[in-house]
Amino acid sequence: MGAKIASLSFQKPKWVVLQVTEKCNLRCKMCYEWGDSGSYFHKNDLRELDIDVAKRVLEELSEAKPYLELFGGEPLMYPHLRPLLEKIQEIGCMVDIPTNGTLLEKHADLLVETEVRRIWVSIDGPEEINDAQRGKGVYQRALRGLRAVAAAKRNRNAQYPLLGVTMVVTPLNYRYVESFFRGLLEEDILDNVSIEFQLYTTKERYDDYLQFVKKEFSIEPDASSMAGGLIRSIADFQEVDIDDLTAQVKAIRELCARKKVNCIGYPKTMTHENVERFYKGDWEHMTDKRSKCSFPWIYMEISANGDVSPCHTFYDVCVGNVYRENIMDIWKGSVYQEFRRKMRNKLSPICSSCSRYYSDL
């Protein structure tokens, strides 16, 4: 991996996430932003990315043409969705949108018209189970949204957006992975399925992380630190029947292969041993373990307040702000270079709580 990182050109970002709003219309229990212990739960001054700034940033990225992702909160709540998507289309970038699906029906035509590449709807199990985790009525709204986009695609004879469903597996819903996807896949409207374990970190690891950022970057995160929203107790996961869960995931992966539906998720390796280590917080001994990360060489994430961070979990480190600077200057600038130099051979104590930690980089 060292040679791979060293050889990665960082002349151009390959993947840029724009957090368009911090607001969300749901309060999903496991969410590191808006869940019971989420980092936004008590936040008052909720931000939205200024549309003129967002358009300028897109112009600045137009030569690099990274793959884009809109993020939230709930990105479909962004009041300037149409001009933003039209600008993305104009500069010729591909864009993904993860969404809770509740506003999909309303925006179905727009998403097809502007050729959004992929929509990932988060649904966490069959109706009763999903709604226990995400709120009453959410399942039906998300399903109506998926069907509306599928219908809008048919009407226009359009290939995009590809449709995906993401299920975050928690102790509350893990028994329903197989039955949920079996039912959903019968609709034959999905192109992608993602089975993602609830990410978490322990209080001990988070404390180590605080020491780490203080020492390396002279930062002392406050209560709104995103990483703080991931703290859970290992005891919360000990009732999960690992054999049952791994067998269900295997069955769905096989079904997806037969139906030619792309199936991804994390952790990638779903053996009993690997899942047990995940739920024991023994990340160092997992099969997918990493010792370094290539994201600082390919990635940027723009928060709704304009801050640019090098990763999806490590938000406390800011390498610039798009309200004041050109995004490509931030990308090439000394602060980001210094971050790359410091992180070349290491991970932070919370990197194992990042979804990207488990993916092929």
Partner from ligand SF4, ligand SAM, none contacting 162, C-beta within 5 to 8 A by type: none
Per-residue binding letters, 47-86, with ligand SF4 (x by CB under 6 A) = -------------------------xxx------------
> Does residue 31 belong to the site contacting ligand SF4 (CB under 6 A)?
yes
Stretch of 10-18, 27-35, 266-274, 296-304 lying at the interface with ligand SF4 (CB under 6 A)? 27-35
Residue choice 12, 14, 27, 56 for contact with ligand SF4 (CB under 6 A): 27
> Does residue 141 belong to the site contacting ligand SF4 (CB under 6 A)?
no
> Does residue 313 belong to the site contacting ligand SAM (CB under 6 A)?
no
> Does residue 131 belong to the site contacting ligand SAM (CB under 6 A)?
no
User: Taking CB under 6 A as the criterion, which residues in 27-46 touch ligand SAM?
Assistant: 30-33
CB of 1 to ligand SAM, least distance (A): 24
User: Taking CB under 6 A as the criterion, which residues in 142-201 touch ligand SAM?
Assistant: 166, 168, 196, 198-199
Partner from ligand SAM, ligand SF4, none contacting 166, C-beta within 5 to 8 A by type: ligand SAM
Binding-site size, ligand SAM (CB under 6 A): 17
CB of 176 to ligand SF4, least distance (A): 17
- SS3 for the chain is CHHHHHHCCCCCCCEEEEECECCCCCCCCCCCCCCCCCCCCCCCCCCECCHHHHHHHHHHHCCCCCEEEEECCCHHHCCCHHHHHHHHHHHCCCEEEEECCCCHHHHHHHHHHCCCCEEEEECCCCHHHHHHHHCCCHHHHHHHHHHHHHHHHHHHCCCCCEEEEEEEECCCCHHHHHHHHHHHHCCCCCCEEEEEECCCECHHHHHHHHHHHHHHHCCCCCCCCHHHHHECCHHHHCCCCHHHHHHHHHHHHHHHHHHCCEEEEECCCCCHHHHHHHHHCCHHHCCCCCCCCCHHHCEEEECCCCEEECCCCCCCCCCEECCCCCHHHHHHCHHHHHHHHHHCCCCCCCHHHCHHHHCCC
> Does residue 122 belong to the site contacting ligand SAM (CB under 6 A)?
yes
Residues forming the site for ligand SF4 (CB under 6 A): 24, 26-28, 31, 33-34, 72-74, 100, 122
